[in-house]
Structure 1
């Protein structure tokens, strides 16, 4: 339900049963490339979104420079973890508390001092 659709809703959009969606999620049924493409289109995510948990460590590296920053942001937001973090962050109703969470994240992301 991360992208706001239940299995039943997604099934209706794709013309499938919720059981078929469940089988795809569980890996019980293989999904064709064309069906995967359709799914990515309906979810408005890049096709690579479905493969991000395969362990490609190169994608986890921070950008080397500011050049190409827009592409890097797009790549980051294609990750489930990043979208989940954004959803959780905006789920915090108290604006001051959200700012504090952001401050903590900024502190934690700073390089360690020697």
Structure 2
């Protein structure tokens, strides 16, 4: 049976991979393993070694600490599964994030500034 920590790391791995629009195969090639291993990591069936986690973090362009974000809270909830297994993002949200990461730095900053200004414009006075 999968350990709660392994499940958490696997969920974070899947989330980041999907946000970047990568398939399991594409990520596996970058890390030098088979896609089946990525599947096993994502479902918590196999543990991710420290060295492999480092390689995954480099391939996914995120710090290793990303995988542990929210772990304390998840363990405090006695690993109660979230509704639907995980808090899923809507497809349009994933599409927006993928499009955002395809932009260069300057347009990304401008888009972020625009989004923030739209939010502050709609806030009640």
> Which structure: larger Rg?
1
> Structure 1: how far apart are the matches of 2:52 and 2:119?
38
Q: TM-score, normalised by structure 1?
A: 0.52
Aligned equivalent of 2:12: none
Shift >3 Å, 4+ stretches: 83-86, 101-104
In structure 2, the residue matched to 1:63 is: none
Once the two structures are TM-superposed, the CA of residue 35 in structure 1 deviates from its matched residue by: 0.5
Q: Which has the higher contact order (CA 8 A, sep 6+)?
A: 2
Give CA-to-partner distance per residue, 1:53-101, whole Å, 9 cap, x none.
Answer: 3256xxxxxxxxxxxxxxxxxxxxxxxx9x96961784xxxxxxxx5x5
* Runs of at least 5 residues in structure 1 that lack an aligned partner in the other structure: 57-80, 91-98
Structure 2 regions of 5+ residues with no counterpart?
A: 1-17, 74-88, 101-113
- The alignment covers a number of residue pairs equal to 78
Kept in 1: contact 2:19–2:98 (CA 8 A): no
Query: For residues 88 and 10 of structure 1, do their structure 2 counterparts lie closer, same or farther at Cα, with a shift above 3 Å needed?
Result: closer
Identify which of 10, 14, 31 aligns with 2:31.
14
TM-score by length of 2: 0.48
Residue 94 of structure 1: aligned partner:
none
CA RMSD of aligned residues (A): 3.4
Instruction: Map 1:1-114 to 2 at 5 A.
Output: 1-55=18-72, 87=97, 90=100, 99=114, 102-106=116-120
